[in-house]
Amino acid sequence: MSKIKIAVLANGEWDLNWGKEALNEVDFLICADGGANNAALSSRMPDLVIGDLDSISLENLKRYEKAGCVIERYPCEKDETDLELALLRAEEKARLLGEQDIWLYGATGKRIDHFLGNVALMLDYAQKGYRVRAVDPNHEMWIIQGREEIRGSSGQELSLISLSETSVVSTEGLYYPLEKGILLQKRPRGISNVFLGEKAGVEVHEGWVLLVIVRARV
């Protein structure tokens, strides 16, 4: 059974050419407010636009309404961010389809406070059993607990950042190995490790760890 790729597009920095290729692989696209402008730049019609709609251009909003795109408008004064609302809809779709992965685009760059808030949301979803994979042209990141096999290329860098006060981590296939090593939230010991080959194993025995794979740009 083929997997359905569910994605949320936020209003962060956006490379329209890279984005067009990335969004072509998406089966169901939810745009968080101004993320709909990014979708328009990459010629992709969203399935849903959600938020207080203070960032989407009027031109794009009218075009999406005319095309029959579902629009959910919320008041500006609300407890949830637009991205939080979009992820809730993505979670509903993922649960319905039995999917674990939710892809997140446009969630980096521009405002550092928004990015840190997005990492907090990624942790929340990891603790609920979902893998929110934030991707931009230079990085792919998600939060892990347990064991995963990570694909890369020889010499490619990746970082392991503890989001818990203490995390216990083992690795295989990396230049700097860990065997139940201790990563602390307040010390960046896991920054800039390196793939020895095309795959590596990472096991988080305790805690929650943000894995960041650095992509080489051609």
Phi, then psi, of 87 in degrees rounded to 5: -65, -35
* Tens-digit pLDDT profile for residues 52-104: 999 999 999 999 999 999 999 999 888 889 999 999 999 999 999 999 999 99
Mean pLDDT across the chain: 94
Percent of the chain with pLDDT over 90: 93
CATH pick for 6-137 out of 3.40.50.10240, 2.160.10.10, 1.10.3470.10, 3.30.360.10: 3.40.50.10240
Residue 34 and residue 52: Cα distance in Å, rounded?
10
Question: What radius of gyration do the chain's Cα atoms show?
Answer: 18
Query: What are the residue boundaries of the structural domains of the chain, listed by start?
Result: 6-137, 143-214
Q: Which residues pair with 163 in a beta bridge?
A: none
On the question of pLDDT at 135 being above 60, the answer is yes
The mean pLDDT of 14-43, rounded to a whole number, is 95
Task: Name the packing angle between helices 112-127 and 82-97 (round to 10°).
Answer: 30
The mean pLDDT of 38-44, rounded to a whole number, is 95
On the question of pLDDT at 10 being above 70, the answer is yes
* Tens-digit pLDDT profile for residues 145-194: 999 999 999 999 999 999 999 999 999 999 999 999 999 999 999 999 99
* 203-to-42, 125, 136, 152, 187 alpha-carbon distances in Å: 37, 19, 24, 16, 19
Identify the DSSP state of 174: B
Residue 208 and residue 162: Cα distance in Å, rounded?
6
Residue 1: pLDDT band with limits 50, 70, 90: low
Residue 199: pLDDT band with limits 50, 70, 90: very high
Class of residue 39 by CB neighbours under 10 A (exposed 0-12, middle 13-18, buried 19+): buried
Helix H or strand E encompassing 71? strand 70-73
| Parallel/antiparallel/unpaired status of strands 48-51 and 28-32 | parallel
Write the CATH number of the domain with boundaries 143-214.
2.60.120.320
Rounded to 5°, the CA angle 86-135-144 comes to 85
Q: Give the three-class secondary structure for 46.
A: coil
Number of other residues whose CB lies within 10 A of the CB of residue 175:
13
| Strands annotated E in 101-189 | 101-105, 131-136, 139-151, 157-162, 166-172, 181-184
- Give pTM, 2 decimals: 0.93
- What pLDDT sits at residue 110? 84
89, 47 contact by CB (below 8 A): no
- What pLDDT sits at residue 218? 39
For 154, half-sphere exposure in the C-beta direction (CA atoms, 13 angstrom radius) is 2
* 209-to-6, 167, 168 alpha-carbon distances in Å: 23, 7, 9
Q: Which amino acid is at 46?
A: P
